[in-house]
Amino acid sequence: MSISGGDVNPVGFTVVKDNENPEVDIIFVHGLGGHPHGTWACEQKHATSSQARGIKRLARGFRGIFSRGRTIPPPLPTAPEPPQQHSNKDEFFWPRDLLGLESWSRPTRILTYGYNSKVTKGYSATDKSNLFAHGKDFLYALQREKPPRRNVIFVAHSLGGLVLKEALRRSEASEEYELKDIVRSTIGIIFIGTPHRGSSDLVGLADNVRRLASLTLRIDNNPTLLRALGTDSPELELGRESFLVLWRTYNFRVKTFQEAQGISGVNIGPLNEKVVPDMSSSLDDPREHAETIHENHRNMCRFRSEMDPGYRKVSGEIKAMMAIAHKEPPQSSCDGQGKHGQSAFDETPELAHAQNSELLRSLYFPEMNDRRKNIKRALDGTCDWLFSAPEFKTWQDRVDVNIHHGFLWIKGKPGAGKSTLMKEAVTRAENEAKKEGSAGRGITASFFFNARGTQHLEKTPLGVYRSLLHQVLNEDKLALAYVWDIYSKMKSNQGSVIWHEEDLQKCLVRVFERPKSRPSTLFIDAMDECDEDDVRALLRFFKGLAKTAHRAGARLRVCFSSRHYPNVSIEGCPELIVEHHSRADILLYIESESEDNSTVRELKGDIFAKSNGVFLWVVLVVAMLQSKGRGRSLKWLKQKLAEIPPQLDALFRELFETMDPEDRERTIRLMQIMLFSETRSSEEIHTALAFSGRAYASIADWEGSVEFLETLKQAHEMIIELSRGLLEPTVAISESRQQNHFDQSDLASTTYQFIHETVREFFLNGDGFRLLGLSSVNISGSGHRTLATACVNYLNTSECATPAPGEVLSPYYLQDTFWEYVTESTFDHIEAAERAGESQEDLLKLIQTNNLVERLIYHQDGLRSERLSHQDGLTPSERLYYQDDLRLPISPGADLLFAAVELGLFHTVSRLLTMGFDPNKPCAAEMKYPLLVAIDHSRYGNDGIAELLLTYGASVSSRGAYEQTALHLAAGRSIDLVRKLLPYGPDINARDIYGRTALHEAIFDRRNRDDCGEMVKLLIKHGADVNAAEQNGDTPLHQAVRWDLESKIRELYAADQDDYRYTPLHQGLRWDIDIKSAIRELLSGGVDVNAANKYGNMPLRRVVRWSNESAIRELLSGGADVNAANKAGNTPLHQAAGRGHESAICELLNGGADRFRTNTDGKIPYDLAYDLVSDATPPSPEEVQNVKLLLATEGSEVTIAMARSQFFYLHLTPCTDTAFPC
């Protein structure tokens, strides 16, 4: 709230001019000794000259120090004194009285910021905060005051500019978006008399006065700020250099104003000169366009009228900065690369477009909107009742939100039209949001459960969270920034992001726990189509989310829809029962559909009465009466209506009771295809129906048979006829076209679905298949068998045979789409059938006899090549991710048993073993043996297959192409697998072609395990040789120290710089607890800690390379030779010095390292300081000097601050806090 003629608080923010919807904040920061009002205000009276006022103020300052009436300090207050206000009734305050009245400043909010900056306050206690503390306080206060993403302009006088620079430095260094938003949102800074390099003369005088007050009169004071303003102050140099980096990075506008006069009339040494010399008030950057204001240091920021030359200069700059605010947000002027090649966390005020796209792509899945799109649009005039219902309006207008927390629940019977109603509600909400404009526009997001969908995400809570989060983040880039840190941490840990429910929930909470989050409405349809436990879990989460949002002041609404079962509810949540309100909609639908059949139209009242409010029942009955009632009397139609059962399942039953036997058999297979496959296009359904019914020697034979349908229109008609209308085309067919007028272009892209979830349930769990004559009670097993039969029969055609070298594939094969499904799904259906208890032995024999695995491998390779050919235009990271997703599931050269093991098909493997397949028969694949590939693939969760193979006699001595044994592989995967192998007597010290043993692999190939130490202990217990050396001479101890230090380095170097925006190499590496335990096990097992590899390097040298002091201490305590030299004569201390590793130098010196040992070049460690550092990241002279200082230090105990970096002096020099008069 703005003030007018009131008082300004001396500490914190005061809004002096506000606006209903400000676009920019203009913030004034005074200097030390100043005041958020007094610094910018001048007296209305003009009788006293500025010189006289200056003398009087200086005199008052000295009298306040030496006054006899203040010889005894006042008693300490028992409670904090309230902040005193600064009256501005008789003074002209230009931020409000001039700037606030400018027409171009209307879209701004003007604030002043105050902080306790007195060097001495008489006998009152002085604020001891230093420059950095003031900067930190300013940053946190600004975070609370400034809304995220609002642009900001700073006007800083004197030392206020230094406080501002420190706040911006801290903002840029933060990984919290709200803090980093400060520097991102900065579009302009005006420095008025800011001492970027200090002022020595003024500091000397002021410090003498301060000392006199302190020593003579025992007055409390704060000397630190004065010392910070010295010309040799490291704080100022740090602030100046850091600011120049920020300026280059964020490219905000900077303007410098310098004083033109000294404090004239006061003939006391430097006070007659400029308080801040030009050299100090300049940043030495031509972009600042430094110019003077014809006043002294104190008066250069005080203006009396709009014609004041100083005001015209300053306001003109503010106006120019305002123009920037109306353009694009400030962008980084650099390439985003910081020191050591790492990128800034985020280099623009909003997340970079590439980051946005990357995060959104990770959430997106193609089917997320399929169900909504496939719901037919509501008939004009229907659904209107919802938007006038009291329950809906209460929810929409957030009436009684303290009770319902933004929830609404729409319930109804199956087929009552809930999804159609929800689609209409979503559409209208989206349209309303568009009318609100971009400023206050709300977000509408929705998820429609699709139990008939083929993808897991279409029907699970995981899909709900991913879809809703994607939609919300796609609309709100600030929300993207809120969750980026969660995403980036997941990516750095996992490589490629795999979302879990907990991660997604955390992100949604992060979005809506802020009062500034965009108003959002979430619609979730058909909650009953997921498991009851999932429904309850979803409700628990959204209840908590809604309460969190409500407490934070965020405007969140959530609308559910479901059947009446499961019987769950939310306390206080209003509910709408669809069938209680649908009468008008049903009557309107009947009239619309029977426009040309007046007889049916006359029955609309009877139809509604029998419908029980179930819209789907009405749709089916009207269609039946329309098709059978033409030329019939009204009495006949009434009689027929009376015969139709009022329940949906009974109605379905009636549809199939009169079907002829041939059609029944085909309908069974059609419904199995729809239930258990992802084959949904008319062409694929047609092909699957044909090859599931019989085997053809070739595709050409099928095309020549009477079963083949020449056109897609015929295939469409077949599907509708066999399903009796219970299958329908999706909206890929234009809704504007009548069903009998589809053309080939429509049908080519059309997929099919059940008209309603009740139809799917009728066949999956009801009487559907029994009515059609299916003898098997194993619905799932028989369904997958039908599809497996279709795939195997198709794969066995002559067109799918592996071509001979130089042979060209048949044109039909290249044009067909069903071959992709066969290639990817054949074994999936065989495994699913076996899992359901339906033996696939006959199909497996056919695959083995005709060597169909070879065909699958060939066609998988062709499919991969085709998909890779569509990668033009992808970024390198996208291409790598895509290629990884296209890895061949079956290795070239695999036989049937090997392929089943590699694919993780436990039940299929079990079937093959019972059929007599030999687990010890090698194949031409790289791993050769099923047991080896089973262990190698155990990381995918297939441990049970390895156990199964062992029980059927698989040999633990089998070796792969690289001579690796089962124990080699198990040691790099799982300690449980090693325990399962050991009873079978594997050679514990067997070597692969690289000379590695299982103990090497236990450390080298840890694969993110957390049991490395326990694994090493287990292998040593069973006789592993701890000193076994591989070909290059590395023992397991070499491997252990290397993996502790280099595993994370590898990940960071291998990362695509476009994806990994920053790397923490300069921050050092943590000491991995698990590897530490592994090293201890090796040491206790008798490992030679001083064993050298063929390069002469010992384990100690490796840990020194990456400056891991904990590892150094561990090895030294284990007997490592601190002065051992490699072939070049370099000791660990030489290496630590060459790399500038201060902490490693300390540890080595404390461990007895010889500072004067020479290498083969005759150099001691001192001579090599920073020699090994890359030219791309040269050290500062201070860093080099610091390392040399360490190497020259005498004494038994050497220590140093661990946090030294470019802020070395900041940490070692006492921070000071003072100011000259402002």
pLDDT, tens digit (0-9, with 9 covering 90-100), for 290-321: 999 999 988 999 998 889 999 999 999 999 99
- Does residue 620 contact residue 651 with C-beta atoms inside 8 Å? yes
The pLDDT tens digits of the residues spanning 483-519 come to 888 888 888 776 678 899 999 999 999 999 876 678 8
Residue 548: burial class (beta carbons within 10 Å; 0-12, 13-18, 19+): middle
Q: Are strands 520-525 and 556-562 parallel, antiparallel or unpaired?
A: parallel
Query: In sequence order, which residues have a C-beta less than 8 Å from that of residue 109 and are 6 or more positions away?
Result: 2, 15, 17, 18, 19, 22, 24, 25, 26
User: Residue 1008's pLDDT is what?
Assistant: 41
Here the tokens at position 1077 are 């335990």
* Interior angle at CA 1068, CA 1062 and CA 1069, nearest 5: 95
User: Residue 125's pLDDT is what?
Assistant: 45
pLDDT of 156 > 90? The answer is yes
DSSP state, residue 285: -
- The residue-averaged pLDDT of 237-262 equals 86
One DSSP character per residue, 306-343 reads TT-HHHHHHHHHHHHHHHHHTSSPP--SS-SB-GGGPB
The pLDDT tens digits of the residues spanning 693-718 come to 999 999 999 999 999 999 988 999 99
Give the per-residue SS3 of 706-742: CCCCCCHHHHHHHHHHHCCCCEEECCCCCCCCCHHHC
User: Residue 455's pLDDT is what?
Assistant: 84
- Does residue 1022 contact residue 981 with C-beta atoms inside 8 Å? no
* Interior angle at CA 893, CA 921 and CA 1004, nearest 5: 80
The pLDDT tens digits of the residues spanning 554-604 come to 889 999 999 887 677 788 888 999 999 989 999 998 888 887 778 888 898
The pLDDT tens digits of the residues spanning 875-886 come to 444 444 444 444
User: Residue 1039's pLDDT is what?
Assistant: 66
- The residue-averaged pLDDT of 14-22 equals 87
Residue type, 853: V
- Does residue 770 contact residue 657 with C-beta atoms inside 8 Å? no
Separation of alpha carbons 450 and 464, rounded Å: 11
- The residue-averaged pLDDT of 1195-1206 equals 39
- Counting other chains too, the contacts that 756-759 makes at CB distance below 8 Å and 24 or more residues apart are 756/414, 756/415, 756/616, 757/414, 757/451, 757/452, 757/526, 757/529, 758/414, 758/415, 758/616, 758/648, 758/649, 758/652, 759/652, 759/726
pLDDT of 211 > 50? The answer is no
User: Residue 353's pLDDT is what?
Assistant: 63
Tell me the backbone φ, ψ of residue 360, rounded to 5 degrees: -65, -40
Tell me the backbone φ, ψ of residue 827, rounded to 5 degrees: -70, -25
* Interior angle at CA 404, CA 401 and CA 405, nearest 5: 60
- Does residue 1132 contact residue 1160 with C-beta atoms inside 8 Å? no
- Does residue 184 contact residue 348 with C-beta atoms inside 8 Å? yes
Q: Which residues of 155-170 are buried (b: 16+ CB within 10 A; e: fewer)?
A: bbbbbbbbbbbbbbbb
Tell me the backbone φ, ψ of residue 25, rounded to 5 degrees: -100, 130
One DSSP character per residue, 341-363 reads GPBPS--SSS--HHHHHHHHHHH
Of the given ranges (114-123, 192-201, 232-241, 940-949), which has the lowest mean pLDDT?
114-123
3-state secondary structure of 233: coil
Residues β-bridged to residue 523: 446, 559
Separation of alpha carbons 422 and 608, rounded Å: 22
Separation of alpha carbons 587 and 590, rounded Å: 5
Of residues 991 and 264, more confidently modeled:
991
pLDDT of 689 > 50? The answer is yes
pLDDT of 83 > 60? The answer is no
Q: How confident is the model at residue 154 (pLDDT cuts 50, 70, 90)?
A: very high
Of residues 542 and 1197, more confidently modeled:
542
pLDDT of 992 > 90? The answer is no
Sign of CA dihedral 960, 963, 965, 970: negative
Residues for the chain: how many in total?
1222
Most confident of 199-208, 427-436, 1195-1204: 427-436
Query: In sequence order, which residues have a C-beta less than 8 Å from that of residue 158 and are 6 or more positions away?
Result: 30, 31, 32, 34, 192, 193, 194, 195, 276, 297, 1219, 1220, 1222
pLDDT of 432 > 80? The answer is yes
- Does residue 1009 contact residue 974 with C-beta atoms inside 8 Å? yes
User: Residue 1053's pLDDT is what?
Assistant: 33
Separation of alpha carbons 1055 and 1034, rounded Å: 27
The pLDDT tens digits of the residues spanning 372-428 come to 888 888 888 899 999 999 999 999 988 888 888 899 999 998 888 999 999 999 999
- Does residue 534 contact residue 460 with C-beta atoms inside 8 Å? yes
| CA 855 from centre of chain | 41
Separation of alpha carbons 48 and 38, rounded Å: 17
Task: From 531, 583, 580, 578, select the one nearest 559 (Cα to Cα).
Answer: 578
For residue 453, the number of C-alpha atoms closer than 13 Å in the C-beta half-sphere is 24
Q: How confident is the model at residue 808 (pLDDT cuts 50, 70, 90)?
A: low
- Does residue 116 contact residue 149 with C-beta atoms inside 8 Å? no
User: Residue 17's pLDDT is what?
Assistant: 92
Task: From 517, 522, 444, select the one nearest 477 (Cα to Cα).
Answer: 517
Q: How confident is the model at residue 925 (pLDDT cuts 50, 70, 90)?
A: very high
Query: In sequence order, which residues have a C-beta less than 8 Å from that of residue 30 and are 6 or more positions away?
Result: 36, 38, 39, 40, 112, 113, 114, 117, 157, 158, 160, 1222
pLDDT of 535 > 60? The answer is yes
Q: How confident is the model at residue 1052 (pLDDT cuts 50, 70, 90)?
A: very low
- The residue-averaged pLDDT of 188-216 equals 62
Helix (H) or strand (E) holding 15: strand 12-17
Residue appearing with tokens 């006054």: 67
pLDDT of 459 > 60? The answer is yes
What rounded mean pLDDT belongs to the chain?
78
- Does residue 275 contact residue 202 with C-beta atoms inside 8 Å? yes
- The residue-averaged pLDDT of 1021-1042 equals 78
User: Residue 181's pLDDT is what?
Assistant: 81
Q: How confident is the model at residue 941 (pLDDT cuts 50, 70, 90)?
A: low
The pLDDT tens digits of the residues spanning 1127-1169 come to 888 899 988 888 888 888 888 888 889 988 999 988 888 888 7
Residues β-bridged to residue 114: 12
Query: In sequence order, which residues have a C-beta less than 8 Å from that of residue 1160 and are 6 or more positions away?
Result: 1128, 1129
Percent share of the chain, pLDDT over 90: 32
pLDDT of 1047 > 80? The answer is no
User: Interhelix angle for 779-795 vs 682-693, to 10°?
Assistant: 90
pTM for the structure as a whole: 0.58
- The residue-averaged pLDDT of 19-46 equals 84
- The residue-averaged pLDDT of 997-1004 equals 82
Task: From 835, 856, 853, select the one nearest 844 (Cα to Cα).
Answer: 853
DSSP state, residue 977: H
Q: How confident is the model at residue 657 (pLDDT cuts 50, 70, 90)?
A: confident
pLDDT of 159 > 80? The answer is yes
DSSP state, residue 809: P
Q: How confident is the model at residue 161 (pLDDT cuts 50, 70, 90)?
A: very high
On the question of a cis peptide bond just before residue 811, with omega within 30 degrees of 0, the verdict is no
pLDDT of 1211 > 60? The answer is no
Of the given ranges (110-124, 383-397, 444-458), which has the lowest mean pLDDT?
110-124
Query: In sequence order, which residues have a C-beta less than 8 Å from that of residue 856 and are 6 or more positions away?
Result: 795, 823, 826, 827, 890, 899
